[in-house]
Amino acid sequence: MDVTPSAAAPVVRLIEEFHKLPGVGPKSAQRLTYYLLRASQDEARALAQAILEVKEKITFCSICQNVTDRDPCLICANDERDSSLICVVEEPLDILALERTGSYNGLYHVLHGVISPMDGVGPEHLKVEELLERLKGGSFQEVILATNPNLEGEATAMYLDRLLGPLGVRVTRLARGLPSGADLEYADDLTLTRALEGRQEMS
Amino acid sequence: MTTPRIYKTEAIVLRQRKLGEAGKIVTLYTPNYGKLDAVAKGVRRPKSRLGGHLEVLTHTTVMLAQGRNLETVSQAQTVESFGGLRADLHRLSRALYAAELVDRFSPERAESYHVFQLLLATLRRLVSAKNVDTVLRHMEMQLLGLAGFQPQLARCVNCERALAAAASYFSPDAGGVLCPACGPEAGESRTLSLNALKVMRLLQSGSFAEVSRVRMALPLAQEIEMHLRAYLIHVLERDVRSAAFIDRLRREDFWQPAGVSS
């Protein structure tokens, strides 16, 4: 990477470390580094501590595979949640998005990825076995497949549906249609088709 | 040919990878510019006007703006979305394999109208074909021909004598068929039944309509697939990754009754 070769070695090292982070380009890495140079000792230490703590204390929940600092995680341990519902998501961040809506009160299962044959990612690389074990042992009535509505997400949902079919549990998929605030004229055919199929009675 | 700064082209989306906060880099196969990568900004946001038109395995019309390294997609409009592929895991797995093959065989910006047409025809066939694997075998053989790796099936690659109507050998290394005399001498060859040789010749020179009329028993189809796959891996010097998913679906169908998938 071409950082200013004249910068002191520790500065260059920090810039390089920041540069490795997703979404951080060379200029952002330099900005972050020079910000920290000017920040107080405490601020820098707090950041370093926070990073270390995440790595040391965070593990995966043995039930839902979400990231957590306690096992089982807060959601799995909460008995006020509806334990007959399980929502399958690709990544832990998807749980944050769903929780933000406040309209779901069931449990989750994180796959940690999505089937992507071209990248060599198959079901064996995901937490699919763990999901099957949970469903066989639990009293779930419905599995909500909440993978992303793109090709890989759909492939994963279809694959899971095939796998879960014999278990006799109800398998549903998140609705796919038009986002609020969108223009019909810009919608693609697939989305519009799905929106038509999933139309609902005005009440 | 100089390309204008902003230009419009048809394209089939081969693959995508994430870029930054909400963007993607899409790999497009175009009829006039070959394979190229383009940045699509903001397509991972639900309200993106581009996202749905740039899904993998979509035939689309795009407006591209030239950039320093990569093109940027400024507009996109779906031509054909191949909904039938997306609703069936078996068809989808074959289509992804076809896209991966084209991706692997095509250098950046090497124009090939025929490869574009072949991929488009293959996707259309995969939507409705009774036997999706025959579609792939035909596509593989045609693509090998277009890429300049057509295997020699008419005469022995070693002694160059015309092949008799008998079982022979296929050698990916030698690039074709070896006669019963030369075959055992070569290290990497495997036996090739006469029927497999006949079908492979038809895959090479016949139209898809002709090929699709051939009824193959499973062992014959498996033999041809094995030879072609070995040859493709030899030519590409790497695995075709999507093949693993096809194999897996087949394995699982074996112990799961048909009709389980919806």
Cβ contacts of B89 on chain A, cutoff 8 Å: 155, 158-159, 162
What pLDDT, on the 0 to 100 scale, is given for residue B258?
39
What pLDDT, on the 0 to 100 scale, is given for residue A2?
53
pLDDT, tens digit (0-9, with 9 covering 90-100), for B66-84: 988 889 999 999 999 998 9
ipTM of the complex: 0.85
A151 and B99 in contact by Cβ < 8 A?
Answer: no
User: Edge-to-edge, what's the strand order for the sheet holding B190-192?
Assistant: B176-178, B168-171, B190-192
- For chains A and B, CB pairs below 8 A equal 83
Higher pLDDT residue, A161 or A1? Answer: A161
Residue B3 has pLDDT above 80, yes or no: no
Interval B166-177 mean pLDDT: 92
What pLDDT, on the 0 to 100 scale, is given for residue B260?
37
Q: Hey, what domains does chain B have and what are their CATH numbers? A: 6-81 (2.40.50.140), 86-255 (1.20.1440.120)
Element spanning B197, H or E: helix B194-205
A119 and B262 in contact by Cβ < 8 A?
Answer: no
Confidence of residue B208 (pLDDT cuts 50, 70, 90): very high
Residue positions counted in chain A: 203
A151 and B20 in contact by Cβ < 8 A?
Answer: no
Minimal-distance CA residue of chain B relative to A160: B261
A120 and B244 in contact by Cβ < 8 A?
Answer: yes
Interval B13-40 mean pLDDT: 92
Confidence of residue A7 (pLDDT cuts 50, 70, 90): confident
Residue B262 has pLDDT above 70, yes or no: no
Residue B125 has pLDDT above 60, yes or no: yes
Cβ contacts of A152 on chain B, cutoff 8 Å: 56
- Sequence letter at residue B95: A
Q: Which architecture, in CATH terms, is A9-55?
A: Orthogonal Bundle (1.10)
Please name which of A183, A189, A118 lies closest in space to residue B58, comparing C-alpha atoms. Answer: A189
Interval B40-49 mean pLDDT: 87
What pLDDT, on the 0 to 100 scale, is given for residue B157?
92
Contact criterion met (CB below 8 Å) for B200 and B176: no
Measured between alpha carbons, how far is A56 from A75 in angstroms, rounded to an integer?
A: 21
B78 closest CB neighbour out of A120, A165, A188 = A188
A151 and B245 in contact by Cβ < 8 A?
Answer: no
Backbone φ/ψ region at A65: left (φ over 0), alpha (ψ -120 to 50), beta: left
Q: Does A120 touch chain B (CB under 8 A)?
A: yes
| C-alpha distances in Å from residue B19, one per residue of A92, B39, B43, B158 | 19, 8, 10, 49
Cβ contacts of B46 on chain A, cutoff 8 Å: 179
Interval B108-113 mean pLDDT: 89
Residue B165 has pLDDT above 80, yes or no: yes
Taken in order B134, B136, B137, B138, is the CA torsion positive or negative?
positive
> In angstroms, what is the C-alpha Rg of chain A?
22
Cβ contacts of B127 on chain A, cutoff 8 Å: none
Residue B1 has pLDDT above 60, yes or no: no
Minimal-distance CA residue of chain A relative to B75: A186
Minimal-distance CA residue of chain B relative to A165: B260
Measured between alpha carbons, how far is A141 from A159 in angstroms, rounded to an integer?
A: 19
In chain B, residues 54-113 whose CB comes closer than 8 Å to chain A: 55-57, 78, 81, 83, 86-89, 92-93, 96-97, 99-100, 103
CATH number for domain A81-196, candidates 3.40.50.300, 1.10.10.10, 3.40.1360.10, 1.20.1250.20: 3.40.1360.10
Q: Does A162 touch chain B (CB under 8 A)?
A: yes
pLDDT, tens digit (0-9, with 9 covering 90-100), for B215-244: 889 999 999 999 999 999 999 999 999 999
What pLDDT, on the 0 to 100 scale, is given for residue A5?
60
Residue B259 has pLDDT above 50, yes or no: no
Mean pLDDT (chain A, rounded): 90
B92 and A155 in contact by Cβ < 8 A?
Answer: yes
Taken in order B84, B89, B93, B94, is the CA torsion positive or negative?
negative
Q: Is A65 in a helix, a strand, or coil?
A: coil
Every domain of chain A and the residues it spans:
9-55, 81-196
Q: List all residues 6 or more positions away from B137 whose beta carbon is below 8 Å from its beta carbon.
A: B203, B211, B221, B224, B225, B228
Measured between alpha carbons, how far is B243 from A121 in angstroms, rounded to an integer?
A: 11
Which of A150, A163, A170 has the most B C-beta neighbours within 10 Å, making it the best mutation to test the interface with B? A150
Measured between alpha carbons, how far is A158 from A131 in angstroms, rounded to an integer?
A: 15
Q: What is the largest CA-CA distance in chain A?
A: 69
Confidence of residue B254 (pLDDT cuts 50, 70, 90): low
Confidence of residue A23 (pLDDT cuts 50, 70, 90): confident
Minimal-distance CA residue of chain B relative to A116: B242
Residue A3 has pLDDT above 60, yes or no: no
Cβ contacts of B78 on chain A, cutoff 8 Å: 188-190
Interval B110-126 mean pLDDT: 95
What pLDDT, on the 0 to 100 scale, is given for residue B6?
93
Contact criterion met (CB below 8 Å) for B52 and A187: yes
Measured between alpha carbons, how far is A135 from B1 in angstroms, rounded to an integer?
A: 59
Residue B46 has pLDDT above 90, yes or no: no
At residue A100, what are phi and psi to the nearest 5 degrees? Answer: -60, -30
